[in-house]
Amino acid sequence: MKYLDEYRAPEAITASLDRIRRKCSRRWVVMDVCGGQTHSLLKHGLEPALEESLELLHGPGCPVCVTPAAVLDAATSLSLERRVTLSSFGDMLRVPGRSGSLLQARARGGDVRTVYSPLDAVDWAVRHPEREVVFLAVGFETTAPATALAILQAQRSAVRNFSVLAHHVRVEPAMRQIAADPAGRVQGFLAAGHVCTVTGYEEYHAFARETGLPVVVTGFEPLDLLQGLETCVELLESGRSEVVNAYARCARPEGNPHAKRLLDAVFRVADVPWRGLGVIPSGGLKIHSSLAKLDACERFGLTASDVEETSGECRSGEVLTGRLKPPDCPLFGNGCTPDTPRGAPMVSSEGACAAYFRYALSGGRAHV
Amino acid sequence: MSDSAPVWQPACPPLASHDGERITLAYGEGGRLTRRLIQDRIVARFGNATLAALGDAALIDLPAGRCAMTTDGYTVTPLFFPGGDIGRLAVYGTVNDLVVSGARPRFLSLAMVIEEGLPWEVLDRVLDSVRDALDATGVQLVTGDTKVVPREAVDQLFLTTTGIGEVIQPLAGPAGLRAGDEILVSGPIGRHGAAVLCAREEFGFDPPPLSDCGPLTRPIEALWHADLPVRCLRDATRGGVAAVLHEWSAVAGLGITVASALLPVSADVRAVCELLGLEPLHLACEGTFVAAVAGGQAQRTLDVMRANGCPAAAVIGEVTTARSTPARLRTTAGREIPLDEPAGSPLPRIC
């Protein structure tokens, strides 16, 4: 398959792994920011293959994981108590809030539907004018433009029974928080390639300059990831805190101007809470007050309750910031599993804890 | 079909086709209309002496020896999807359950729960499919049941089929697996799951993925005749090939490793999986089976399968000694990772 097989070719992967091992004069600590990258590194067995040369940490880049339980509770409450049609992407439906998941809400009588695009939710609202339809929108800058498009389309078409419960988050401020952690050990970052296709990577130049950490824009296929890691190792070995694009077939410095215009038209940058990390300054996007009628928070008077997101023993905040590897958390596999998640990184398949649990580790020890 | 009295013909029979385009509740209430539905649409279509007798039970002649019996309910949205429909699914699903159990399918029952308002044309198309699938497999429909329920009590049409077959080749089953046995699949995996998902959500893939909905009688009977050391067979329906591997592994107390590079996945299914973040090993098949054969016999088995309607059959892995994770996937990077056991229906990833 074009643009896929060539990035999974076994011989090229073996050669790339060898080059990275040879280039490492010491064991560097590199963080991938995106859950898709974490998933791919473990699914394709790249992390254990590089274990001697690189310590890979996995950042908070799973939008499903970092969505606060309070947001899910609000969605559940809308479907059960306000009798609205609640729609969202498939993997959001399994994530537990404090009052269960949306799939459980559906079993209790809530009208909860999977959609594959926010525009499908608008379309549903148009075809069912008797129902209030809410789209639960989460994700980084990758999914936010589609949400923005849906909001603008609903506004243009004067759809009166549609609104969005939005919790979109921004990656770069989370990276800043991790880089500023005095206990942090990250020496280089793999920036999320899909996010950069929207935002570009110009803002990372200031980030690299100010933090002294190299940033490599990286894709998701095995050879994309290996190219990103190899580039990061080269920067670390030569002491350069620069930004390099190792995902040039998709990401451009300026990003996608059309998508950025959509974001600007609908959202403003805001301080928002991340599950497991607390409130991150400028860490998210809120719907402009001029579009309040399409904002489910405004429409239904929702306020997120400020409740502790994780149990006392759960150390997901340290996992999300790279201070702790998932198997070193005392709850990992010991009451905290993908079926019974206790913290953010175990709730979705792309969370670091869930990815370790599924692909690499069991009971805290590697068996690959 | 409990009415064994002679069929009384009223002077002006309210023929089903004259009662409007849709099925009404009256057709499920056991009187004249129910009998007309059964006579006009079932008996007329599947006519055989046993069915036509309309007894409380079908009286059938079975050969001496062991029989296999299985039953399954079928609900699918949409009823018609690229590569198949609920009628074919209901026949082939039960036929395949028998044949992978070492039995030659002989008789089938068909129970229908019909939603009030279903167009007659839809029911007729489904029943035509049932007839075609029965013809293709040489199985007789000998009894059944029909219910019509109020609107929204079911989603259009639910079918249940029960099959009885004559055991030809008893297999040891997964308890008989041994380390070193080889694992094969009869064709590309995940096609039914991908086809139904794309049809239901109207993704507009062009060409759309086609379901593999079909009978397994030919390749499996060929395996019987080839006298191959087959340990166990299973059609990889809900949960896909991954569910079969997990189940076999758990029963045998052994590991199973498959290699991602060896898995036959058609280009259309692969495209769907890559786009939606799905795993082909988790997607349902409805005309593809997994086989385990004694070590060293994979090539002979492949030759038989490929010569009997399974050109894309492939060896995908082997049974290993017990491991901490039962089913494992060897990646293209040469590492082994646990193969996730499917839980619930596959849900696309957010990004």
| pLDDT tens per residue, range B330-344 | 987 778 888 888 877
Separation between Cα atoms, residue A311 and residue A330, nearest integer Å:
12
Average confidence score pLDDT of chain A? 90
Mean pLDDT, range A267-283, rounded to an integer: 92
Q: Check CB contact under 8 Å for A94 and B347.
A: yes
From chain B, the residues in CB contact with A49 under 8 A are 333-335
> Residue B119: how many CB atoms within 10 A of its CB?
13
**Does residue A365 register a pLDDT over 60?**
no
| pLDDT at residue A112, as a whole number | 96
Q: Which pLDDT band, with edges at 50, 70 and 90, does A317 fall under?
A: confident
User: Of all residues in chain B, what percent carry a pLDDT higher than 90?
Assistant: 77
Q: Is B259 on the interface with A (CB under 8 A)?
A: no
Q: Is B337 on the interface with A (CB under 8 A)?
A: yes
Instruction: For residue A44, give how far its alpha carbon lies from the nearest alpha carbon of chain B (Å).
Output: 5
Q: Check CB contact under 8 Å for A89 and B350.
A: yes
Q: What is the residue-wise DSSP string for A256-280?
A: -HHHHHHHHHHEEEEEEEETTTEEE
Nearest by CB to B201, which of A43, A89, A116?
Answer: A116
In the beta sheet, which residues pair with residue A163? A134
Predicted ipTM of the assembly:
0.77
| pLDDT at residue B3, as a whole number | 46
From chain B, the residues in CB contact with A368 under 8 A are 335-337
For the four alpha carbons of A243, A249, A250 and A255, in that order, the dihedral sign comes to positive
Nearest CA in chain B to A47: B335
Residues A336-347 pLDDT 10s: 888 788 777 887
Q: Which pLDDT band, with edges at 50, 70 and 90, does A131 fall under?
A: very high
**Does residue A219 register a pLDDT over 50?**
yes
List the A278-287 sheet strands across, edge first.
A111-114, A85-88, A133-139, A162-169, A278-287, A267-274
Separation between Cα atoms, residue B334 and residue B323, nearest integer Å:
18
**Which 3 state secondary structure label does DSSP give A134?**
strand
From chain B, the residues in CB contact with A362 under 8 A are 324-325, 338
Instruction: For residue A182, give how far its alpha carbon lies from the nearest alpha carbon of chain B (Å).
Output: 31
From chain A, the residues in CB contact with B323 under 8 A are 367
Instruction: For residue A157, give how far its alpha carbon lies from the nearest alpha carbon of chain B (Å).
Output: 23
**For testing contact with chain A, the best of B272, B320, B340, B351 (most A CBs within 10 A):** B351
Residues A60-73 pLDDT 10s: 888 888 888 889 99
> Using an 8 Å Cβ cutoff, are A162 and A129 in contact?
no
A346 burial (CB, 10 Å; 0-12 / 13-18 / 19+) is buried
Residues 6+ apart with CB under 8 A from B282: B190, B193, B239, B240, B242, B243, B340, B342, B346
Residues B24-67 pLDDT 10s: 999 988 888 999 999 999 999 997 999 999 989 999 998 889 99
Q: Is B5 on the interface with A (CB under 8 A)?
A: no
Structure tokens at B126: 């489904």
From chain B, the residues in CB contact with A103 under 8 A are 344
Separation between Cα atoms, residue B62 and residue B234, nearest integer Å:
24
Q: Is B270 on the interface with A (CB under 8 A)?
A: yes
Q: Which pLDDT band, with edges at 50, 70 and 90, does B172 fall under?
A: confident
| pLDDT at residue A226, as a whole number | 97
Mean pLDDT, range A290-299, rounded to an integer: 96
Pick from A191-200, A274-283, B177-186: least confident: A274-283
Separation between Cα atoms, residue B180 and residue B257, nearest integer Å:
11
| pLDDT at residue A339, as a whole number | 79
| pLDDT at residue B102, as a whole number | 95
Q: Is B119 on the interface with A (CB under 8 A)?
A: no
Q: Which pLDDT band, with edges at 50, 70 and 90, does A363 fall under?
A: very low
**Does residue B13 register a pLDDT over 90?**
no
**Does residue B312 register a pLDDT over 80?**
yes
Q: Which pLDDT band, with edges at 50, 70 and 90, does A310 fall under?
A: low
Q: Check CB contact under 8 Å for A93 and B274.
A: no
Mean pLDDT, range A77-85, rounded to an integer: 94
Q: Check CB contact under 8 Å for A116 and B348.
A: yes
| pLDDT at residue B350, as a whole number | 63
Nearest CA in chain A to B277: A36
Average confidence score pLDDT of chain B? 91
Q: Residue A124: CA atoms inside 13 Å, Cβ hemisphere, count?
A: 24
User: Of all residues in chain A, what percent carry a pLDDT higher than 90?
Assistant: 65
**For testing contact with chain B, the best of A1, A21, A171, A250 (most B CBs within 10 A):** A1
**Does residue A27 register a pLDDT over 50?**
yes
| pLDDT at residue A312, as a whole number | 66
Q: Check CB contact under 8 Å for A359 and B336.
A: no
> Using an 8 Å Cβ cutoff, are A224 and A246 in contact?
yes
The whole-angstrom distance between residue A232's C-alpha and the CA centroid of its chain comes to: 21
Nearest CA in chain B to A35: B351
Nearest by CB to B351, which of A114, A143, A359?
Answer: A143
Pick from A2-6, A247-251, A285-289, B244-248: least confident: A2-6
Q: Is B202 on the interface with A (CB under 8 A)?
A: no
Mean pLDDT, range B220-224, rounded to an integer: 96
Q: What is the dihedral of CA B77, B78, B80, B83, to 10 degrees?
A: -70
Instruction: For residue B233, give how far its alpha carbon lies from the nearest alpha carbon of chain A (Å).
Output: 27
